[in-house]
Structure 1
Protein backbone atom coordinates (compact mmCIF):
# COMPACT_ATOMS: atom_id res chain seq x y z
CA UNK A 1 0.00 0.00 0.00
CA UNK A 2 2.97 2.31 0.61
CA UNK A 3 3.94 1.99 -3.07
CA UNK A 4 0.43 3.01 -4.11
CA UNK A 5 0.50 6.08 -1.89
CA UNK A 6 3.95 7.05 -3.16
CA UNK A 7 2.91 6.85 -6.81
CA UNK A 8 -0.28 8.83 -6.15
CA UNK A 9 1.77 11.52 -4.38
CA UNK A 10 4.06 11.68 -7.41
CA UNK A 11 1.07 12.38 -9.65
CA UNK A 12 -0.16 15.17 -7.38
CA UNK A 13 3.23 16.82 -6.93
CA UNK A 14 3.98 16.59 -10.67
CA UNK A 15 0.58 17.70 -11.96
CA UNK A 16 2.06 20.84 -13.53
CA UNK A 17 4.58 18.77 -15.49
CA UNK A 18 1.86 16.33 -16.56
CA UNK A 19 -0.24 19.19 -17.90
CA UNK A 20 2.59 20.92 -19.77
CA UNK A 21 4.06 17.78 -21.33
CA UNK A 22 0.63 16.52 -22.40
CA UNK A 23 -0.01 19.78 -24.27
CA UNK A 24 3.37 19.48 -25.96
CA UNK A 25 2.60 15.87 -26.95
CA UNK A 26 -0.69 16.95 -28.54
CA UNK A 27 1.00 19.58 -30.70
CA UNK A 28 4.00 17.42 -31.60
CA UNK A 29 1.88 14.48 -32.77
CA UNK A 30 0.05 16.45 -35.46
CA UNK A 31 2.59 19.20 -36.10
CA UNK A 32 3.35 18.10 -39.69
CA UNK A 33 -0.32 17.55 -40.64
CA UNK A 34 -2.30 20.20 -42.52
CA UNK A 35 -5.37 19.76 -40.30
CA UNK A 36 -3.28 19.51 -37.14
CA UNK A 37 -5.24 18.81 -33.97
CA UNK A 38 -8.43 18.44 -36.02
CA UNK A 39 -7.40 14.81 -36.55
CA UNK A 40 -7.91 14.16 -32.85
CA UNK A 41 -11.64 14.04 -33.45
CA UNK A 42 -11.75 13.43 -37.21
CA UNK A 43 -10.21 9.97 -36.82
CA UNK A 44 -12.74 8.69 -34.25
CA UNK A 45 -15.55 10.48 -36.12
CA UNK A 46 -14.75 8.54 -39.28
CA UNK A 47 -14.60 5.28 -37.34
CA UNK A 48 -17.94 6.03 -35.68
CA UNK A 49 -19.46 6.55 -39.12
CA UNK A 50 -18.12 3.19 -40.26
CA UNK A 51 -19.38 1.36 -37.15
CA UNK A 52 -22.81 2.96 -37.50
CA UNK A 53 -23.09 1.87 -41.13
CA UNK A 54 -22.03 -1.69 -40.32
CA UNK A 55 -23.60 -2.35 -36.92
CA UNK A 56 -26.30 0.30 -36.79
CA UNK A 57 -27.78 0.19 -40.27
CA UNK A 58 -26.38 -3.06 -41.66
CA UNK A 59 -26.89 -5.45 -38.73
CA UNK A 60 -29.35 -3.61 -36.51
CA UNK A 61 -31.48 -1.93 -39.16
CA UNK A 62 -31.19 1.39 -37.27
CA UNK A 63 -33.69 0.06 -34.69
CA UNK A 64 -33.94 1.78 -31.32
CA UNK A 65 -32.38 0.22 -28.22
CA UNK A 66 -34.81 0.39 -25.28
CA UNK A 67 -36.52 3.34 -26.95
CA UNK A 68 -33.23 5.19 -27.55
CA UNK A 69 -32.07 5.97 -31.12
CA UNK A 70 -29.29 3.54 -31.98
CA UNK A 71 -26.89 6.30 -33.04
CA UNK A 72 -27.15 7.92 -29.59
CA UNK A 73 -26.88 4.59 -27.77
CA UNK A 74 -23.86 3.58 -29.85
CA UNK A 75 -22.16 6.97 -29.63
CA UNK A 76 -22.03 6.83 -25.82
CA UNK A 77 -20.40 3.41 -25.86
CA UNK A 78 -18.03 4.12 -28.74
CA UNK A 79 -16.75 7.42 -27.32
CA UNK A 80 -16.00 5.85 -23.94
CA UNK A 81 -14.39 2.87 -25.69
CA UNK A 82 -12.18 5.04 -27.93
CA UNK A 83 -10.84 6.95 -24.93
CA UNK A 84 -10.21 3.76 -22.94
CA UNK A 85 -8.64 1.89 -25.86
CA UNK A 86 -6.34 4.76 -26.87
CA UNK A 87 -5.27 5.42 -23.29
CA UNK A 88 -4.59 1.76 -22.53
CA UNK A 89 -2.46 1.26 -25.64
CA UNK A 90 -0.66 4.58 -25.26
CA UNK A 91 -0.16 4.05 -21.52
CA UNK A 92 1.31 0.61 -22.13
CA UNK A 93 4.06 2.12 -24.30
CA UNK A 94 4.43 5.39 -22.38
CA UNK A 95 7.49 4.45 -20.32
CA UNK A 96 9.13 2.35 -23.02
CA UNK A 97 9.05 5.24 -25.50
CA UNK A 98 10.25 7.89 -23.05
CA UNK A 99 12.47 6.12 -20.53
CA UNK A 100 15.70 7.32 -22.16
CA UNK A 101 14.53 10.93 -21.92
CA UNK A 102 13.29 10.53 -18.35
CA UNK A 103 16.60 9.06 -17.25
CA UNK A 104 18.22 12.41 -18.08
CA UNK A 105 15.55 14.57 -16.43
CA UNK A 106 14.29 14.96 -12.88
CA UNK A 107 10.68 13.83 -12.75
CA UNK A 108 9.16 10.49 -11.74
CA UNK A 109 8.66 7.85 -14.42
CA UNK A 110 5.25 7.01 -12.97
CA UNK A 111 3.71 10.19 -14.41
CA UNK A 112 4.19 9.07 -18.03
CA UNK A 113 0.95 7.04 -18.16
CA UNK A 114 -0.86 10.06 -16.68
CA UNK A 115 0.59 12.30 -19.40
CA UNK A 116 -0.80 9.92 -22.00
CA UNK A 117 -4.26 9.97 -20.39
CA UNK A 118 -4.33 13.77 -20.24
CA UNK A 119 -3.23 14.04 -23.87
CA UNK A 120 -6.18 11.91 -24.94
CA UNK A 121 -8.64 14.09 -23.03
CA UNK A 122 -8.66 16.66 -25.84
CA UNK A 123 -10.03 14.17 -28.38
CA UNK A 124 -12.43 12.82 -25.76
CA UNK A 125 -13.75 16.33 -25.06
CA UNK A 126 -14.42 16.98 -28.75
CA UNK A 127 -16.31 13.71 -29.07
CA UNK A 128 -18.36 14.44 -25.94
CA UNK A 129 -19.33 17.74 -27.52
CA UNK A 130 -20.53 15.89 -30.62
CA UNK A 131 -22.47 13.44 -28.42
CA UNK A 132 -24.25 16.25 -26.58
CA UNK A 133 -25.16 17.90 -29.90
CA UNK A 134 -26.60 14.65 -31.28
CA UNK A 135 -28.55 13.95 -28.08
CA UNK A 136 -30.09 17.40 -28.09
CA UNK A 137 -30.96 16.91 -31.75
CA UNK A 138 -32.92 13.77 -30.80
CA UNK A 139 -34.67 15.53 -27.94
CA UNK A 140 -32.62 13.99 -25.12
CA UNK A 141 -32.09 16.74 -22.55
CA UNK A 142 -30.07 16.92 -19.31
CA UNK A 143 -31.64 15.46 -16.18
CA UNK A 144 -30.56 15.12 -12.56
CA UNK A 145 -29.01 11.75 -13.48
CA UNK A 146 -26.29 13.59 -15.39
CA UNK A 147 -24.72 14.60 -12.08
CA UNK A 148 -23.29 11.11 -11.70
CA UNK A 149 -21.18 11.68 -14.82
CA UNK A 150 -18.58 12.97 -12.36
CA UNK A 151 -18.56 9.60 -10.59
CA UNK A 152 -18.15 7.55 -13.77
CA UNK A 153 -15.50 9.91 -15.13
CA UNK A 154 -13.49 9.44 -11.92
CA UNK A 155 -14.00 5.68 -12.26
CA UNK A 156 -12.67 5.79 -15.82
CA UNK A 157 -9.58 7.83 -14.92
CA UNK A 158 -8.86 5.56 -11.91
CA UNK A 159 -9.14 2.48 -14.12
CA UNK A 160 -6.88 3.94 -16.82
CA UNK A 161 -4.31 5.12 -14.28
CA UNK A 162 -4.15 1.73 -12.52
CA UNK A 163 -3.88 -0.09 -15.85
CA UNK A 164 -1.33 2.43 -17.10
CA UNK A 165 1.02 1.82 -14.16
CA UNK A 166 0.69 -1.96 -14.54
CA UNK A 167 0.82 -2.18 -18.35
CA UNK A 168 3.69 0.26 -18.79
CA UNK A 169 5.80 -1.68 -16.31
CA UNK A 170 5.06 -5.10 -17.79
CA UNK A 171 5.78 -3.76 -21.30
CA UNK A 172 9.27 -2.84 -20.14
CA UNK A 173 9.84 -6.30 -18.66
CA UNK A 174 8.13 -8.30 -21.44
CA UNK A 175 8.06 -6.48 -24.77
CA UNK A 176 5.58 -8.94 -26.30
CA UNK A 177 3.01 -7.83 -23.75
CA UNK A 178 2.06 -4.73 -25.75
CA UNK A 179 1.22 -6.84 -28.82
CA UNK A 180 -0.81 -9.22 -26.67
CA UNK A 181 -2.65 -6.25 -25.15
CA UNK A 182 -3.70 -5.10 -28.62
CA UNK A 183 -5.30 -8.50 -29.27
CA UNK A 184 -7.05 -8.49 -25.88
CA UNK A 185 -8.49 -5.03 -26.54
CA UNK A 186 -9.88 -6.16 -29.91
CA UNK A 187 -11.78 -8.88 -28.07
CA UNK A 188 -12.92 -6.49 -25.32
CA UNK A 189 -14.40 -4.19 -27.95
CA UNK A 190 -17.00 -6.83 -28.79
CA UNK A 191 -17.71 -8.13 -25.27
CA UNK A 192 -17.91 -4.78 -23.44
CA UNK A 193 -21.25 -3.63 -24.84
CA UNK A 194 -19.88 -0.73 -26.88
CA UNK A 195 -21.75 -1.63 -30.08
CA UNK A 196 -24.47 -4.04 -28.98
CA UNK A 197 -26.61 -4.64 -25.94
CA UNK A 198 -25.24 -7.71 -24.15
CA UNK A 199 -28.40 -8.17 -22.09
CA UNK A 200 -30.63 -8.31 -25.17
CA UNK A 201 -28.64 -11.14 -26.74
CA UNK A 202 -29.62 -14.76 -26.30
CA UNK A 203 -26.69 -15.42 -24.02
CA UNK A 204 -26.99 -17.72 -20.97
CA UNK A 205 -27.54 -15.81 -17.73
CA UNK A 206 -24.20 -16.96 -16.32
CA UNK A 207 -22.38 -15.54 -19.37
CA UNK A 208 -24.21 -12.20 -19.13
CA UNK A 209 -23.35 -11.91 -15.42
CA UNK A 210 -19.73 -12.79 -16.16
CA UNK A 211 -19.45 -10.15 -18.90
CA UNK A 212 -20.94 -7.55 -16.56
CA UNK A 213 -17.94 -8.00 -14.23
CA UNK A 214 -15.72 -6.50 -16.94
CA UNK A 215 -14.61 -3.02 -15.73
CA UNK A 216 -14.97 -1.62 -19.25
CA UNK A 217 -18.57 -2.83 -19.40
CA UNK A 218 -19.22 -1.21 -16.02
CA UNK A 219 -17.98 2.13 -17.36
CA UNK A 220 -19.82 2.01 -20.70
CA UNK A 221 -23.05 0.90 -19.08
CA UNK A 222 -22.64 3.56 -16.40
CA UNK A 223 -22.25 6.35 -18.94
CA UNK A 224 -25.35 5.13 -20.75
CA UNK A 225 -27.38 5.02 -17.54
CA UNK A 226 -26.20 8.56 -16.81
CA UNK A 227 -26.94 10.24 -20.15
CA UNK A 228 -30.10 8.22 -20.84
CA UNK A 229 -31.40 8.69 -17.27
CA UNK A 230 -31.79 4.98 -16.63
CA UNK A 231 -30.51 4.62 -13.07
CA UNK A 232 -28.11 5.61 -10.29
CA UNK A 233 -24.75 3.96 -9.69
CA UNK A 234 -25.64 3.06 -6.09
CA UNK A 235 -28.51 0.92 -7.34
CA UNK A 236 -25.92 -1.70 -8.32
CA UNK A 237 -23.66 -1.75 -5.23
CA UNK A 238 -22.26 -5.22 -5.93
CA UNK A 239 -20.95 -4.24 -9.36
CA UNK A 240 -19.51 -1.02 -7.93
CA UNK A 241 -17.66 -2.90 -5.16
CA UNK A 242 -16.32 -5.43 -7.65
CA UNK A 243 -15.16 -2.64 -9.97
CA UNK A 244 -13.29 -0.76 -7.23
CA UNK A 245 -11.91 -4.02 -5.87
CA UNK A 246 -10.45 -4.82 -9.29
CA UNK A 247 -8.97 -1.31 -9.50
CA UNK A 248 -7.32 -1.69 -6.09
CA UNK A 249 -5.83 -5.08 -6.96
CA UNK A 250 -4.47 -3.79 -10.29
CA UNK A 251 -3.01 -0.70 -8.60
CA UNK A 252 -1.38 -2.74 -5.83
CA UNK A 253 0.25 -5.14 -8.30
CA UNK A 254 1.22 -2.39 -10.73
CA UNK A 255 2.70 -0.14 -8.05
CA UNK A 256 4.69 -3.00 -6.54
CA UNK A 257 6.19 -4.00 -9.89
CA UNK A 258 6.81 -0.38 -10.88
CA UNK A 259 8.71 0.50 -7.70
CA UNK A 260 10.63 -2.78 -7.77
CA UNK A 261 11.97 -2.45 -11.30
CA UNK A 262 11.91 1.24 -12.25
CA UNK A 263 15.54 1.83 -11.21
CA UNK A 264 16.48 -0.76 -13.86
CA UNK A 265 14.12 0.25 -16.69
CA UNK A 266 16.98 1.52 -18.86
CA UNK A 267 18.84 -1.76 -18.38
CA UNK A 268 15.82 -3.79 -19.52
CA UNK A 269 15.50 -1.71 -22.68
Structure 2
Protein backbone atom coordinates (compact mmCIF):
# COMPACT_ATOMS: atom_id res chain seq x y z
CA UNK A 1 0.00 0.00 0.00
CA UNK A 2 1.39 3.38 -1.02
CA UNK A 3 0.69 6.55 0.96
CA UNK A 4 1.43 9.35 -1.52
CA UNK A 5 2.18 12.16 0.93
CA UNK A 6 5.00 10.15 2.55
CA UNK A 7 7.00 9.92 -0.68
CA UNK A 8 10.23 11.87 -0.34
CA UNK A 9 9.72 12.67 3.36
CA UNK A 10 12.69 12.44 5.75
CA UNK A 11 12.54 10.47 8.99
CA UNK A 12 14.82 9.62 11.87
CA UNK A 13 13.86 6.37 13.61
CA UNK A 14 15.81 5.73 16.80
CA UNK A 15 16.37 2.14 17.81
CA UNK A 16 15.71 0.91 14.29
CA UNK A 17 18.26 -1.86 13.79
CA UNK A 18 15.93 -4.55 15.18
CA UNK A 19 12.40 -5.05 16.44
CA UNK A 20 9.61 -2.53 15.96
CA UNK A 21 11.99 0.23 14.91
CA UNK A 22 13.45 -1.90 12.12
CA UNK A 23 9.96 -2.77 10.86
CA UNK A 24 8.95 0.91 10.88
CA UNK A 25 12.13 2.09 9.15
CA UNK A 26 11.74 -0.58 6.46
CA UNK A 27 8.09 0.37 5.90
CA UNK A 28 9.09 4.03 5.56
CA UNK A 29 11.60 2.99 2.89
CA UNK A 30 8.85 1.17 1.02
CA UNK A 31 7.01 4.50 0.88
CA UNK A 32 9.98 6.10 -0.90
CA UNK A 33 11.16 8.00 2.16
CA UNK A 34 14.67 8.94 3.26
CA UNK A 35 15.37 7.25 6.58
CA UNK A 36 18.10 7.64 9.18
CA UNK A 37 18.45 4.15 10.66
CA UNK A 38 19.82 4.33 14.19
CA UNK A 39 21.62 1.73 16.25
CA UNK A 40 23.73 1.61 19.36
CA UNK A 41 25.63 -1.70 19.28
CA UNK A 42 23.97 -3.62 16.44
CA UNK A 43 25.64 -1.93 13.46
CA UNK A 44 25.42 -4.96 11.15
CA UNK A 45 21.67 -5.22 11.68
CA UNK A 46 21.25 -1.49 11.02
CA UNK A 47 23.20 -1.82 7.77
CA UNK A 48 20.84 -4.63 6.72
CA UNK A 49 17.80 -2.43 7.41
CA UNK A 50 19.36 0.40 5.40
CA UNK A 51 20.02 -1.98 2.50
CA UNK A 52 16.39 -3.12 2.58
CA UNK A 53 15.23 0.50 2.49
CA UNK A 54 17.37 1.28 -0.54
CA UNK A 55 16.29 -1.92 -2.28
CA UNK A 56 12.67 -0.80 -1.83
CA UNK A 57 13.37 2.57 -3.48
CA UNK A 58 14.03 4.73 -0.42
CA UNK A 59 17.22 6.38 0.77
CA UNK A 60 19.02 5.49 3.97
CA UNK A 61 21.94 6.31 6.22
CA UNK A 62 23.06 4.53 9.36
CA UNK A 63 23.70 6.54 12.52
CA UNK A 64 25.23 5.01 15.62
CA UNK A 65 25.23 6.17 19.23
CA UNK A 66 23.77 5.77 22.69
CA UNK A 67 20.58 7.82 23.02
CA UNK A 68 21.03 7.73 26.80
CA UNK A 69 23.72 10.33 26.15
CA UNK A 70 21.72 13.54 25.68
CA UNK A 71 24.41 15.20 23.57
CA UNK A 72 24.62 12.21 21.25
CA UNK A 73 20.83 12.03 20.91
CA UNK A 74 20.73 15.67 19.81
CA UNK A 75 23.56 15.01 17.35
CA UNK A 76 21.56 12.22 15.71
CA UNK A 77 18.88 14.75 14.78
CA UNK A 78 21.44 17.18 13.38
CA UNK A 79 23.19 14.44 11.42
CA UNK A 80 19.89 13.40 9.84
CA UNK A 81 19.26 16.97 8.69
CA UNK A 82 22.84 17.33 7.45
CA UNK A 83 22.47 14.16 5.37
CA UNK A 84 19.02 14.79 3.88
CA UNK A 85 18.54 18.55 4.16
CA UNK A 86 15.43 18.50 6.33
CA UNK A 87 13.43 16.52 8.87
CA UNK A 88 9.74 15.70 8.55
CA UNK A 89 9.18 12.82 10.95
CA UNK A 90 10.85 11.84 14.20
CA UNK A 91 10.16 8.38 15.60
CA UNK A 92 11.56 8.25 19.14
CA UNK A 93 11.51 4.50 19.46
CA UNK A 94 14.69 3.48 21.29
CA UNK A 95 14.04 2.00 24.71
CA UNK A 96 14.47 -1.01 26.95
CA UNK A 97 13.60 -2.47 30.34
CA UNK A 98 17.42 -2.65 30.79
CA UNK A 99 17.17 -5.05 33.73
CA UNK A 100 14.28 -6.54 35.69
CA UNK A 101 14.58 -5.88 39.42
CA UNK A 102 12.15 -5.30 42.30
CA UNK A 103 12.22 -1.67 43.42
CA UNK A 104 13.84 -2.49 46.77
CA UNK A 105 16.77 -4.01 44.86
CA UNK A 106 17.01 -1.28 42.21
CA UNK A 107 19.89 1.12 42.69
CA UNK A 108 20.24 4.72 41.60
CA UNK A 109 22.36 3.60 38.65
CA UNK A 110 19.54 1.46 37.27
CA UNK A 111 17.10 4.34 37.74
CA UNK A 112 19.37 6.64 35.76
CA UNK A 113 19.88 4.08 32.99
CA UNK A 114 16.17 3.38 32.56
CA UNK A 115 15.08 7.01 32.70
CA UNK A 116 17.86 8.31 30.45
CA UNK A 117 17.17 5.66 27.81
CA UNK A 118 13.37 5.67 27.84
CA UNK A 119 12.37 9.17 28.97
CA UNK A 120 15.19 11.70 28.66
CA UNK A 121 16.03 10.50 25.13
CA UNK A 122 12.47 11.26 23.96
CA UNK A 123 12.58 14.75 25.49
CA UNK A 124 15.99 15.53 23.98
CA UNK A 125 15.09 14.15 20.55
CA UNK A 126 11.88 16.17 20.42
CA UNK A 127 13.61 19.34 21.62
CA UNK A 128 16.26 18.98 18.91
CA UNK A 129 13.74 18.10 16.20
CA UNK A 130 11.17 20.86 16.74
CA UNK A 131 13.13 23.69 15.03
CA UNK A 132 13.72 21.49 11.99
CA UNK A 133 10.10 20.34 11.81
CA UNK A 134 8.98 23.94 12.08
CA UNK A 135 11.38 24.93 9.29
CA UNK A 136 9.89 22.18 7.12
CA UNK A 137 6.42 23.69 7.58
CA UNK A 138 5.30 21.10 10.09
CA UNK A 139 5.78 17.42 10.74
CA UNK A 140 5.16 14.51 13.02
CA UNK A 141 6.75 13.29 16.24
CA UNK A 142 5.86 9.70 17.10
CA UNK A 143 7.13 8.12 20.30
CA UNK A 144 6.98 4.50 21.32
CA UNK A 145 5.42 4.17 24.74
CA UNK A 146 4.10 0.87 26.11
CA UNK A 147 1.25 -1.10 27.58
CA UNK A 148 3.35 -0.84 30.75
CA UNK A 149 2.56 2.88 30.98
CA UNK A 150 -1.03 1.92 31.80
CA UNK A 151 -0.73 -1.32 33.75
CA UNK A 152 2.48 -0.68 35.70
CA UNK A 153 4.51 -3.27 33.81
CA UNK A 154 5.32 -6.91 34.43
CA UNK A 155 7.50 -8.23 37.21
CA UNK A 156 10.62 -6.18 37.88
CA UNK A 157 9.80 -3.42 35.39
CA UNK A 158 8.33 -0.66 37.54
CA UNK A 159 10.99 1.85 36.49
CA UNK A 160 10.42 1.05 32.81
CA UNK A 161 6.66 1.46 33.25
CA UNK A 162 7.18 4.80 34.98
CA UNK A 163 9.48 6.00 32.20
CA UNK A 164 6.92 5.01 29.58
CA UNK A 165 4.27 6.82 31.62
CA UNK A 166 6.42 9.91 31.17
CA UNK A 167 6.47 9.33 27.41
CA UNK A 168 2.67 9.12 27.22
CA UNK A 169 2.18 12.28 29.29
CA UNK A 170 4.97 14.11 27.46
CA UNK A 171 3.24 13.26 24.18
CA UNK A 172 -0.01 14.88 25.25
CA UNK A 173 1.62 17.98 26.72
CA UNK A 174 3.97 18.60 23.81
CA UNK A 175 1.12 18.15 21.34
CA UNK A 176 -0.56 21.23 22.84
CA UNK A 177 2.66 23.22 22.80
CA UNK A 178 3.52 22.79 19.10
CA UNK A 179 0.12 22.33 17.45
CA UNK A 180 0.15 25.84 15.97
CA UNK A 181 3.46 25.05 14.28
CA UNK A 182 1.66 22.27 12.39
CA UNK A 183 3.66 19.69 14.31
CA UNK A 184 1.60 16.70 15.42
CA UNK A 185 2.78 14.67 18.42
CA UNK A 186 1.48 11.16 19.06
CA UNK A 187 2.62 7.82 20.43
CA UNK A 188 2.15 4.12 19.82
CA UNK A 189 1.77 1.81 22.83
CA UNK A 190 2.61 -1.78 21.85
CA UNK A 191 1.47 -4.65 24.02
CA UNK A 192 3.42 -7.90 24.15
CA UNK A 193 5.25 -7.89 20.82
CA UNK A 194 7.82 -10.57 20.14
CA UNK A 195 11.13 -8.85 19.49
CA UNK A 196 14.73 -9.88 20.26
CA UNK A 197 14.59 -7.57 23.29
CA UNK A 198 11.38 -9.15 24.56
CA UNK A 199 12.79 -12.63 24.16
CA UNK A 200 15.95 -11.68 26.05
CA UNK A 201 14.43 -9.77 28.96
CA UNK A 202 10.97 -11.27 29.57
CA UNK A 203 10.60 -14.70 31.19
CA UNK A 204 8.57 -17.22 29.19
CA UNK A 205 6.08 -17.63 32.07
CA UNK A 206 5.40 -13.90 32.03
CA UNK A 207 4.69 -13.96 28.30
CA UNK A 208 2.40 -16.96 28.75
CA UNK A 209 0.47 -15.10 31.46
CA UNK A 210 0.06 -12.09 29.17
CA UNK A 211 -1.26 -14.30 26.39
CA UNK A 212 -3.92 -15.70 28.74
CA UNK A 213 -5.05 -12.12 29.51
CA UNK A 214 -5.13 -11.09 25.85
CA UNK A 215 -8.49 -11.57 24.11
CA UNK A 216 -6.70 -12.50 20.87
CA UNK A 217 -4.79 -15.18 22.84
CA UNK A 218 -1.41 -14.50 21.26
CA UNK A 219 1.48 -12.09 21.16
CA UNK A 220 1.83 -9.50 18.43
CA UNK A 221 4.42 -9.12 15.69
CA UNK A 222 6.52 -6.11 14.75
CA UNK A 223 4.77 -5.89 11.38
CA UNK A 224 1.42 -5.55 13.16
CA UNK A 225 2.70 -2.35 14.79
CA UNK A 226 3.80 -0.70 11.55
CA UNK A 227 0.38 0.51 10.39
CA UNK A 228 -0.03 2.75 13.42
CA UNK A 229 3.26 4.52 12.69
CA UNK A 230 2.45 4.94 8.99
CA UNK A 231 -0.95 6.36 9.90
CA UNK A 232 0.53 8.86 12.35
CA UNK A 233 3.34 9.86 9.98
CA UNK A 234 0.92 10.75 7.18
CA UNK A 235 -0.80 14.13 7.22
CA UNK A 236 -3.26 12.80 4.64
CA UNK A 237 -4.36 9.99 6.97
CA UNK A 238 -4.06 11.63 10.40
CA UNK A 239 -3.87 15.37 9.83
CA UNK A 240 -6.33 16.12 12.65
CA UNK A 241 -4.81 13.63 15.09
CA UNK A 242 -2.49 14.88 17.82
CA UNK A 243 -1.87 14.16 21.48
CA UNK A 244 -3.05 10.56 21.06
CA UNK A 245 -1.66 7.22 22.21
CA UNK A 246 -2.62 4.38 19.88
CA UNK A 247 -2.80 1.03 21.65
CA UNK A 248 -1.59 -2.01 19.68
CA UNK A 249 -2.07 -4.77 22.22
CA UNK A 250 -4.53 -7.43 21.07
CA UNK A 251 -7.15 -6.11 23.48
CA UNK A 252 -5.26 -6.79 26.74
CA UNK A 253 -6.16 -3.23 27.81
CA UNK A 254 -8.97 -1.27 26.22
CA UNK A 255 -9.73 2.46 26.65
TM-score w.r.t. the length of structure 2 is 0.33
* Bigger strand share: 2
- The higher radius of gyration belongs to 1
Asked which structure has the greater RCO (Cα within 8 Å, sep 6+), the reply is: 1
